[in-house]
Structure 1
Amino acid sequence: MGLADRYLPYYTVEERNKWQGDWELIEGIPYALASPSLEHQRIVKNLLVEINKYLENCDISECEVIPDVDYYISEDTVVRPDVIVVCGSLKEKITTTPKIIFEVVSPNSVRMDEHIKFELYEREGVKYYCLVYSIEDRKHIKIFHLENGKYRKVFETIDEIFEFSINSYKLLVDFSKIL
């Protein structure tokens, strides 16, 4: 183990909330959030429109789709997923485990989204983890479903429809309208 590993900084969410700028904190380690690209924001907008359209037309009244909001996991972990679908009574901040998390993957976020957040969301019991690749030559979507405490890839597409099962409801997302 090197010096850097032995002397990594450790912070709490309370400390992080006093910082300037946008930060995620995972097990006490800070990660700066980059400014999203125009393409990233378009994908987030398309996800919101597509999911919200379905939520408005069905009986999933206790579920909401929310962009770019802090998800507080513990006293030393808070992340800001690109889009979440969360169910139940929401208070001032998101502490309830989302049912679905979408992360828009860019060249700079591959390690974070494919590895660190993948393991974190798996551990926290997020039912579906969706990676939306906006990388020019790799545009596609991967969906992982939590089964027996582990993620299993259940879908990979560019332009098909996927049916998410939330509680006893079905949420259809047409990914041809996302990328």
Structure 2
Amino acid sequence: MARQDRKIRERAEREARIIECAADIAEREGWAAVTTRRLADEIEYSPPVLYGHFPSGRAGIVDAVAVRGFAQMAQMLAAEPDAGLDRRRGVIERYLEFAATNPATYTAMFSMPILAEFATTTTPPELLDAFATIADVVGDGPSRDARAEVLWSALHGLATLARDGRLPSDTRDARVDALVSMLG
């Protein structure tokens, strides 16, 4: 049994290494640089090993990076706000920070085709956790999920427009203030 446990552990570690390597390459050089051949070279395994973990190849790897990104985002959003910030502002600030500091991962999460589905019975728990943190900010009451979706959409719009240089950086705080104010 110990041998089987070791093999399972080694497989999980290898898979995590593949995901980490893909995210690192994408963050440094963009998603175009992430290929199965490049990943195999970087982690010193053959391409068939990668396909053993991700039968759909690069698409499965991008999906895994996105799901890992949602887990990281959920953890970051759930953290206590900095001193002097209320919960709403804390979540907004951390969301925008995550998007700005992990642009390739954020792109995988929201702009690239991924296998993970949103708002279905098969939605991965990592996505649900990220959404739940945002939903907590809008509070209970009627249309809670719809209000959370609108907040998420606003955050995504701010993050994407800022990343693409479509919003002036010197008015970022005013946009955050406006969004906090809109939340009531």
TM-score calculated relative to the size of structure 1: 0.27
Higher RCO, 1 vs 2 (CA within 8 Å, ≥6 residues apart): 2
Structure showing the higher helix proportion among its residues = 2
TM-score calculated relative to the size of structure 2: 0.27
- Structure number with greater Rg is 2
